[in-house]
Amino acid sequence: MNEFENQNLVWQKRNTDENREASFENKESQMDEQEKKAAARERAEVVSKEIHNTKKQLQNIMVNMQQVVKSVQAIRLQLQLNSTSGIPSVQHDKKQMEELKKKLTNLYGELGDLRLALIVELKKELSDQDSSLSDKDAEDLAEKRADNLWRTLDLGE
């Protein structure tokens, strides 16, 4: 083989190696994007479950408080007591309810942030898939998809 053919083979091998590396890197970045999306969805599901559990706790505490207040009122009536002092367990439950309400507020804030991040990622993905979409159309479609996901997670809009 002459020097020209040797050099040509070296370049072909180098191009093939570079193409392989580029293909591998592209696959890695696609996996990273998929992992990010899966992690975001999983986080939204976890927050959703926390919200549902916190709401259920609030409901249970309120029912419990009502039962305790009725029982105490009935006992006071039987004993002919006219005390207006607070009931310790009810006061404790009220404090716990306030903490749960704060937790709910924080969780809803976190959900809002997750929704915005999801919309940004969906918009980017849609723009990459279809370059003919305008920014407004991509954003509208991304919001619709985010809303659909929120409905499947029973989070409302």
Q: What is the pLDDT of residues 119-136, one digit of tens each?
A: 888 888 888 888 888 889
Q: Which amino acid, one-letter code, is at 36? A: K
What integer pLDDT is reported at residue 113 of this predicted model? 84
Give, in degrees to the nearest 5, the angle at Cα 28 between 45 and 135. Answer: 65
Does residue 19 belong to any structural domain of this protein? yes
Domain that holds residue 145: 3-58+90-152
At 51-73, the pLDDT tens digits run 888 888 888 888 877 787 787 77
Q: Is residue 75 part of a domain?
A: no
**Which H or E element spans position 76?**
helix 3-79
Look at residue 84 and tell me if it is in a domain. no
Q: Residue 33 is which amino acid?
A: E
Q: Of 55 and 77, which is predicted with more confidence?
A: 55
Highest mean pLDDT among 16-20, 22-26, 128-132: 128-132
Contacts of 68 by beta carbon, 8 Å cutoff, 6+ apart: 87, 89, 90, 93
Span 36-47, average pLDDT: 80
Which whole number is the average pLDDT over 93-97? 85
Residue 129 has which token pair? 């898939």
6 compared with 134, residue with greater pLDDT: 134
- How many domains are contained in the chain? 1
The answer to whether residue 77 sits within a structural domain is: no
In a domain, 27, yes or no: yes
**Rounded CA separation 62/150 (Å):** 28
Classify residue 71: in a domain, yes or no: no
User: How much is the pLDDT for 82?
Assistant: 61
Asked if residue 35 is part of any domain, the answer here is yes
**Which is more confident, 23 or 150?**
150
- pLDDT band for position 15 (cuts 50, 70, 90): low
pLDDT at 157 > cutoff 60? no
Residue 132 belongs to a domain: yes
pLDDT grade for 1, boundaries at 50, 70 and 90: low
Q: Residue 97 and residue 79: Cα distance in Å, rounded? A: 30
Residue 136, CB-side half-sphere exposure with 13 Å CA sphere: 0
Instruction: Please indicate, yes or no, whether the overall pTM of this predicted structure exceeds 0.75.
Output: no
Nearest CA among 41, 58, 53, 59 for reference residue 153: 41
Rounded to a whole number of angstroms, the CA Rg of the chain reads 30
